[in-house]
Chains A and B, each alone.
Chain A
Amino acid sequence: MRIELDRPRCEGHGLCEEAAPQLMHLDDDGELVIDVPEVDGPDLDAARSAVRVCPVAALRLAAA
Chain B
Amino acid sequence: MTMRRIVVVGNGIAGLTACDSLRSAGFDGELTIVGAERHHPYSRPALSKALLHSVDGTSVNGKGDDALQAHVLPAPTHEAEELLGVSATGLDVEARRVLLDGGGGLPYDGLVIASGSRAKRLADGQGAAGPHQDDSPREFTLRTIEDAILLRERLASRPSVIVIGGGPLGMEVASGCLHVGCEVTLVSDAKPLSRQLGGHLASLFTAAAVRRGLRVVGGGKARLAGHGAGARVVLADGTELEADLVVTAVGDEPNIGWLAGSNLLTEGSLRVDSRGRLRPEIVAAGDVAFFPTRRGVQRVPLWTSAIDQAKVAAAGLLQGDAAPEFNFQPYFWTEGFGLSLKSVGFTPVEGAPDYCEPGREDGSVLLRWDNPDGYGTAAAVNYRIPIPKLRRLADAGPAALRPVSPARV
In the complex, what distance in Å separates the CA atom of A53 from the CA atom of B303?
Answer: 9
Q: Which residues of B contact A (CB under 8 A)?
A: 16-17, 20, 24, 43, 45-46, 50, 61, 63, 66, 70-74, 77, 303-304, 307, 331, 333, 340, 342, 384-389
In the complex, what distance in Å separates the CA atom of A29 from the CA atom of B388?
Answer: 14
Residue of A nearest to B391 (CB): A18
**Would B388 and A12 count as touching, CB distance under 8 A?**
no
**Would A17 and B388 count as touching, CB distance under 8 A?**
yes
1/0 per position for A6-33, CB-CB distance to B under 8 A?
A: 0011011111011001000110011000
Decide yes or no: A56 and B388 within 8 Å by CB, A13-B333, A48-B20, A61-B74 being known contacts: no
A2 at the interface (CB under 8 A from B): no
Q: Which residues of A contact B (CB under 8 A)?
A: 8-9, 11-15, 17-18, 21, 25-26, 29-30, 45, 48-49, 51-53, 55-57, 59-61
For the A-B complex with A29-B384, A52-B20 known, give 9 more contacts whose Cβ atoms are closer than 8 Å: A13-B342, A17-B388, A18-B387, A26-B386, A48-B24, A52-B16, A57-B46, A57-B73, A61-B74
CB B313 to nearest CB in A, in angstroms, measures 15
Residue of B nearest to A57 (CB): B73
CB A40 to nearest CB in B, in angstroms, measures 14
How many pairs, one residue from A and one from B, have CB atoms within 8 Å of each other in the complex?
67
8 Å CB contact of A52 from B45, B70, B74, B333: B74
Decide yes or no: A8 and B63 within 8 Å by CB, A21-B388, A57-B72, A57-B74 being known contacts: yes
Interchain residue pairs with CB less than 8 A apart (17):
A11-B340, A13-B387, A14-B388, A17-B386, A25-B386, A26-B386, A30-B385, A45-B24, A48-B20, A49-B20, A52-B74, A53-B307, A56-B50, A57-B73, A59-B74, A60-B74, A61-B74
In the complex, what distance in Å separates the CA atom of A14 from the CA atom of B380?
Answer: 13
In the complex, what distance in Å separates the CA atom of A15 from the CA atom of B308?
Answer: 11
**Would B387 and A17 count as touching, CB distance under 8 A?**
yes
In the complex, what distance in Å separates the CA atom of A12 from the CA atom of B333?
Answer: 11
Residue of B nearest to A49 (CB): B20
Contacts of A60 in B (CB 8 A): 74
Contacts of A61 in B (CB 8 A): 74
**Would B17 and A15 count as touching, CB distance under 8 A?**
no
In the complex, what distance in Å separates the CA atom of A29 from the CA atom of B385?
Answer: 7
Decide yes or no: A55 and B20 within 8 Å by CB, A15-B387, A17-B388, A61-B74 being known contacts: no
Decide yes or no: A18 and B74 within 8 Å by CB, A8-B63, A52-B17, A52-B20 being known contacts: no
**Would A57 and B388 count as touching, CB distance under 8 A?**
no
Contacts of A18 in B (CB 8 A): 387-388
Residue of A nearest to B13 (CB): A52
Residue of A nearest to B342 (CB): A13
Of B20, B63, B70, B384, chain A has the most CB atoms within 10 Å of the CB of B384
